[in-house]
């Protein structure tokens, strides 16, 4: 792992801010690194406010979307809320349909089947809408590239409103409104909303048009923060405010379905990390192993018994998902070895029997072993389908664009994408993708990078320091939990390998003979021998450890070097 240090903050700005805020200069330096250089900016950072959200009508087509929904309600038209089967899609559909049903009855929902329909707006979904006399479809987290499907819907007399956050293609669909901050002609100030976030802006627009305020929408923010965490969008700007208040809702008054999901973890308070690693995989498991409708039903539930039953089913799905992705990951690693492809610039593997619902997870697991752009293929009907994942700094979407002649269709982001192709295109694509990656990737990107914010002496690690540091959250892309580096650190003789699989490291460190701090390093058992040699330098985040009712600060180790 290569360690890189973030640029040092301007010392004068950091000192002035430390004085104004009355905090440790290390903390003020972290703020300056994040572009927070004065008292007012710090106040907005530490105390997010929903008043800081932008006017929804700054988004291109927002007025048209609001007008069309009002028109549908006045004419008593049937509205269908359509969304993808992942966390962003199912939370969006649960949120927006629940919101509409507060004042309007003729609302239904539709989640495409991952296996028979695939990602996004499907012809089957439009036929279902036509058969059920739907006149308006609101598509969430999908639709910006569904030109053919939306044209087909228009012939059936069905209007579309698209709420998406993916990159549009060269042309936009012929919809009544296309809400997407990434449209080139959209001047909305914040471009990084997730699909659920764009849906929330439409709700804000509808509420504002009726003379209401955004505060009326706070109960929906538990769904928005779940989508923000799961979709790995930057937790900056509007996303930071939405996530901040969303966590408050999750920790104080979550919806019935969320409560049922949260029961199994028994955590006193949820962070963004808990949302990502506890809630999101369970919600995702419905669409992966059964059907996304299950997740929508849970997140829309108003009956406690129904919610508990659905949560138990989803828990079972998640258990099955875990064992399936572990098995397929092992098979994929064996395939790489058998084909002697350990030294390639990319990983592309395929087996027709692999479960389509977990290939994205498998791709991420393979990156842990071979750090390079990765695609995992399986059979999907008469086509091949793949999930792509990338390494930090490499745009896999752009690489796929350069291989478009070998693909049927593709879509996604810089670091994650999905695609389909004909079976006979596989070999040509695999060769082309390897060539593109080899010719365009900076070789250093093939080694995992650990970004370190600043060096830190153990003497600074005091309860007040950590109390302020906690307020830097919610953490995520664009505002990661700070990583510190300390040198001249020595194990106090406590270091040992822990965990059922013997992969983790537990230790206690001191620096210059003072202040012993506990440390945990997941998947760092191999570093035990370094600690036996003497002093080391450690990279870590700060964390709290609770043991037998006692809470203490600990180092959450990222890496250890001589």
- pLDDT on residue 537: 96
Please compute Rg for the chain using Cα positions.
25
The arrangement of strands across the sheet holding 383-389 comes to 347-350, 374-380, 383-389, 416-421, 409-412
- DSSP per-residue string spanning 76-137: T-EEEEEE-SSHHHHHHHHHHHHHHHTT-S-EEEE---TTTT-SS--HHHHHHHHHTTEEEE
Q: How far is 146 from 169, CA to CA, in rounded Å?
A: 10
- pLDDT on residue 115: 79
Percent of the chain, pLDDT > 70? 100
Read off the pLDDT band of 52 (50, 70, 90).
confident
Read off the pLDDT band of 449 (50, 70, 90).
very high
pLDDT digits (tens, 9 = 90+) for 465-511: 999 999 999 999 889 999 999 999 999 988 999 988 889 999 999 99
Q: Architecture of domain 2-47+450-561 in CATH? A: Beta Barrel (2.40)
- pLDDT on residue 289: 80
Tell me the average pLDDT of the chain. Answer: 94
User: Domain limits of the chain?
Assistant: 2-47+450-561, 56-256, 339-446
Instruction: Tell me: pLDDT of 356 over 80.
Output: yes
Burial of residue 102 (CB within 10 Å: 0-12, 13-18, 19+) is: exposed
pLDDT digits (tens, 9 = 90+) for 335-351: 999 999 999 999 999 99
- The torsion of the CA quartet 145, 188, 137, 125, rounded to 10 degrees, works out to 30
Q: How far is 101 from 138, CA to CA, in rounded Å?
A: 14
Q: Assess if CATH 3.10.310.30 describes domain 339-446.
A: yes
- Find, among 144, 77, 86, the residue nearest to 289 by Cα: 86
- pLDDT on residue 294: 94
Q: Architecture of domain 56-256 in CATH? A: Alpha-Beta Complex (3.90)
Q: How far is 127 from 212, CA to CA, in rounded Å?
A: 36
- pLDDT on residue 374: 98
CA dihedral sign, ordered 524, 525, 529, 534:
positive
Tokens of 361: 């997870």
Read off the pLDDT band of 140 (50, 70, 90).
very high
Q: How far is 306 from 283, CA to CA, in rounded Å?
A: 16
Instruction: Tell me: pLDDT of 514 over 80.
Output: no
- pLDDT on residue 29: 97
Tokens of 41: 């900016």
Instruction: Tell me: pLDDT of 544 over 90.
Output: no
Instruction: Tell me: pLDDT of 81 over 80.
Output: yes
pLDDT digits (tens, 9 = 90+) for 363-399: 999 999 999 999 999 998 899 999 999 999 999 999 9
CA dihedral sign, ordered 56, 61, 66, 67:
positive
Q: How far is 143 from 172, CA to CA, in rounded Å?
A: 9
pLDDT digits (tens, 9 = 90+) for 227-286: 999 988 999 999 999 999 999 999 999 999 999 999 877 787 899 999 999 999 999 888
**Cβ atoms 287, 489 nearer than 8 A:** no
Q: How far is 448 from 302, CA to CA, in rounded Å?
A: 45
């Amino acid at each position: 792992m290569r360690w890189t240090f973030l640029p040092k903050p301007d010392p004068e700005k950091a000192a002035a801010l430390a004085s104004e805020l009355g905090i440790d200069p290390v903390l003020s330096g972290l703020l300056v690194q994040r572009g927070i250089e004065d008292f007012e900016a710090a106040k907005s950072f530490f105390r997010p406010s929903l008043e800081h959200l932008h006017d929804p009508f700054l988004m291109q087509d927002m007025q048209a979307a609001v007008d069309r929904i009002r028109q549908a309600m006045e004419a008593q038209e049937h509205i269908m809320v359509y969304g993808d089967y992942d966390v962003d899609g199912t939370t969006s559909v649960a949120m927006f349909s629940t919101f509409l049903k507060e004042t309007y009855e003729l609302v239904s929902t539709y989640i495409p089947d991952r296996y028979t329909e695939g990602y996004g707006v499907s012809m089957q979904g439009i036929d279902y809408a036509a058969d059920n006399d739907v006149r308006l479809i609101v598509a969430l987290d999908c639709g910006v590239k569904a030109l053919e499907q939306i044209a087909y819907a228009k012939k059936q007399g069905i209007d579309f409103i698209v709420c998406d956050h993916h990159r549009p293609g060269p042309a936009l669909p012929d919809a009544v409104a296309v809400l997407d901050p990434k449209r080139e002609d959209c001047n909305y100030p914040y471009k990084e909303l997730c699909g659920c976030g764009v849906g929330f802006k439409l709700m804000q627009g509808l509420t504002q048009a009726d003379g209401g305020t955004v505060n009326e929408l706070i109960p929906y923010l538990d769904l928005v923060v779940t989508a923000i965490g799961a979709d790995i969008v930057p937790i900056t700007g509007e996303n930071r405010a939405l996530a901040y208040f969303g966590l408050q809702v999750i920790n104080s008054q979550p919806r019935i379905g969320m409560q049922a999901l949260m029961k199994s973890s028994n955590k006193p308070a949820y962070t963004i990390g808990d949302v990502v690693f506890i809630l999101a995989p369970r919600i995702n498991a419905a669409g992966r192993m059964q059907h996304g409708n299950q997740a929508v039903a849970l997140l829309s539930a108003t009956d406690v018994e129904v919610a508990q039953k659905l949560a138990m089913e989803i828990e079972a799905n998640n258990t099955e998902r875990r064992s399936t992705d572990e098995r397929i990951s092992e098979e994929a690693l064996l395939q790489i070895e058998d084909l002697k492809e350990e030294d390639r610039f990319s990983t592309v593997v395929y087996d027709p029997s692999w479960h389509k619902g977990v290939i994205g997870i498998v791709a991420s697991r393979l990156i842990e072993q071979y750090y390079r752009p990765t695609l995992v293929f399986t059979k999907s009907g008469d086509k091949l389908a793949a999930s792509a994942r990338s390494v930090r700094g490499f745009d896999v979407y752009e690489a796929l664009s350069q291989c478009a002649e070998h693909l049927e269709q593709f879509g996604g982001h810089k670091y994650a994408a999905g695609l389909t192709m004909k079976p006979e295109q596989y070999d040509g694509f695999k060769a082309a993708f390897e060539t593109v990656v080899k010719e365009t990737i900076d070789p250093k990107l093939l080694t995992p990078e650990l970004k370190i914010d600043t060096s830190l002496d153990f003497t600074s690690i005091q309860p007040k320091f950590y109390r302020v540091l906690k307020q830097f959250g919610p953490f995520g892309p664009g505002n990661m939990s700070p990583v510190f580096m300390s040198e001249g650190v020595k194990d106090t003789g406590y270091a040992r390998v822990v965990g059922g699989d013997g992969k983790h490291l537990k230790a206690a460190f001191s620096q210059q003979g003072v202040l012993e701090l506990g440390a945990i390093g997941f998947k760092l058992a191999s570093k035990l021998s370094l600690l036996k040699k003497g002093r080391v330098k450690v990279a870590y985040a700060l964390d709290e450890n609770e043991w037998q009712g006692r809470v203490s600060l600990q180092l959450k180790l990222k890496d250890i070097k001589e």
